């Protein structure tokens, strides 16, 4: 039996669920979301820092859409969490310079933040002496405090969003992994734990995270790009450190040319404190530990080493230096925590006994062997694919989803509904803000 839908969304993370939500609440489309796991938001949407990021770390030109989405996403997430009684703790974040050379980077971040829409009351520079009075346990030369930053739980948010989408008629198909397209891309074949299912759809939205590029490649799209995956690992702080700071602490990244930061001190919405993440190169979007997916990783390694973009990246001396450092931080607790001790010297590696949950970042590499800084959306007449959707992706998921749905309405792939009155936001206005 073939089930027909107007739009099929592949991927039930926070972005795919948000797209389904806006399709269900704002259009007349018959929508289904395919998710390979039994629950939604089980991968990058849950395995992250849980921070609602402010756009001061993002270049106003190179990451313009990301910055605008983060600015708008903060407001939308705050409203949504308040209405649904979900955690949203506005505690702010500190970016520290641990040397005089890094103070110039803070000046750059200030300019970026103001260009991206933050106000002077939301983003401020403090001297070392001023920081001693604010956070006495923090060691630095100077620091930025961004007061527009919060802690939340994106796993809970994703769960609520997909439940709300279902209330407006969205169908879901958990425990079914996308397998292939057939019949000129209008049929999707999925494989479940018990059976295969074939779904007929007029339009496909690919929001499959770490698997999204493979799906795009299967439709002969974005073939000039390849993925490289990085595992971000965490250590849970013991309770004796819970009152060490009032805010999360980031440091100026040592490798600014790469799309990830050094490990930081994270305040979770539930009160936990953690150190992380690092960035260990792995070869599967689900390699959450050294033991998991080892066989698959070996297969992926053999594939990647035969591809030009990855080869151009991994032979660069600076990348070789980076991965050796990141591998060591994975194997050595002292090395990982030592990087955070640069600005929180009170931490003792011996006090850390429990690892946190690891997550995977899927980074897009172009034909020159360089990381693509911004999210990438590619299309053909029957589909739209969201690629390279990384941090602060969860922060910007609601406005990005609204923008995508509004794009589908304008292009005639979905028909706007004027009768659904329970909408929290007007998608045309959200899209216009980006």
Q: What is the pLDDT of residue 289?
A: 79
With bands split at pLDDT 50, 70 and 90, how would you rate the model's confidence at 330?
A: confident
Q: Which residues in the chain are classed under CATH 3.50.50.60?
A: 1-88+151-224+374-434
Could you give phi then psi for residue 265, rounded to 5 degrees?
A: -100, 115
Asked if residues 65 and 393 have their Cβ atoms less than 8 Å apart, the reply is no
Count other C-beta atoms under 10 Å from residue 241's C-beta: 18
- Cα 34 to its chain centre, rounded Å, is 19
Q: Is 421's pLDDT higher than 80?
A: no
Q: Output the six-digit token pair for 233.
A: 């690992």
**Per CATH, domain 1-88+151-224+374-434 is 3.30.379.10:** no
**Higher pLDDT pick, 427 / 317:** 427
Q: Is 186's pLDDT higher than 70?
A: no
Terminal-to-terminal C-alpha distance of the chain: 41
Q: What is the pLDDT of residue 307?
A: 59
Q: Output the six-digit token pair for 157.
A: 């948010």
* Range name among 6-10, 258-262, 307-311 with the lowest pLDDT average: 307-311
Q: Is 360's pLDDT higher than 70?
A: yes
Nearest to 335 by CA among 352, 316, 319, 358: 352
* Range name among 10-14, 174-178, 403-407 with the lowest pLDDT average: 174-178
Instruction: Quote the CA–CA distance of 434 and 429 in Å, as a whole number.
Output: 9
């Amino acid at each position: 039996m073939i089930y027909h839908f107007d739009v099929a969304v592949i991927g039930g993370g926070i972005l795919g669920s948000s797209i389904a939500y806006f399709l269900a609440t704002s259009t007349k489309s018959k929508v289904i979301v395919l998710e390979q796991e039994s629950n939604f938001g089980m991968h990058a949407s849950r395995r992250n820092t849980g921070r609602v990021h402010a756009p001061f770390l993002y270049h106003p030109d190179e990451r313009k859409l990301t910055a605008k989405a983060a600015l708008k996403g903060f407001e939308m997430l705050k409203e949504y969490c308040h209405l649904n009684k979900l955690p949203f703790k506005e505690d702010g974040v500190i970016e520290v310079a641990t040397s005089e050379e890094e103070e110039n980077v803070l000046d750059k971040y200030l300019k970026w933040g103001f260009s991206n829409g933050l106000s002077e009351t939301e983003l401020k520079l403090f001297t070392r002496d001023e920081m001693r009075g604010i956070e006495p346990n923090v060691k630095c030369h100077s620091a930025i405090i961004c007061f527009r930053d919060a802690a939340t739980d994106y796993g809970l948010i994703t769960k609520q969003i997909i439940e709300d989408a279902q209330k407006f008629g969205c169908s879901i198909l958990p425990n079914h992994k996308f397998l292939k397209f057939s019949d000129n891309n209008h049929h999707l074949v999925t494989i479940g734990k018990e059976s295969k299912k074939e779904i007929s759809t007029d339009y496909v939205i690919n929001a499959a995270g770490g698997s999204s590029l493979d799906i795009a490649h299967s439709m002969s799209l974005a073939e000039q790009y390849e993925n490289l995956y990085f595992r971000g690992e965490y250590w849970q702080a013991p309770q004796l450190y819970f009152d060490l700071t009032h805010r999360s602490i980031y440091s100026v990244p040592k490798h600014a040319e790469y799309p990830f930061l050094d490990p930081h001190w994270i305040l979770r919405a539930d009160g936990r404190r953690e150190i992380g993440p690092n960035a260990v190169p792995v070869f599967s979007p689900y390699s959450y530990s050294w033991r998991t997916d080892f066989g698959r990783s070996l297969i992926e390694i053999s594939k990647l080493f035969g591809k030009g973009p990855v080869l151009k990246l991994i032979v660069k001396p600076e990348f070789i230096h980076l991965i050796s450092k990141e591998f060591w931080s994975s194997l050595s607790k002292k090395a990982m925590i030592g990087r955070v001790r640069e600005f929180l010297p009170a931490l003792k590696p011996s006090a850390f006994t429990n690892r946190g949950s690891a997550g995977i970042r899927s980074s897009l590499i172009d034909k020159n062997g360089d990381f693509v800084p911004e999210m990438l959306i590619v299309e053909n007449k029957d589909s739209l694919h969201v690629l390279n959707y990384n941090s602060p992706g969860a922060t910007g998921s609601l406005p990005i989803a609204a923008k995508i749905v509004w794009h589908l309405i304008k292009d005639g792939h979905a028909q706007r509904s004027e009768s659904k009155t329970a909408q929290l936001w007007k998608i045309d206005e959200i899209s216009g803000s980006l």
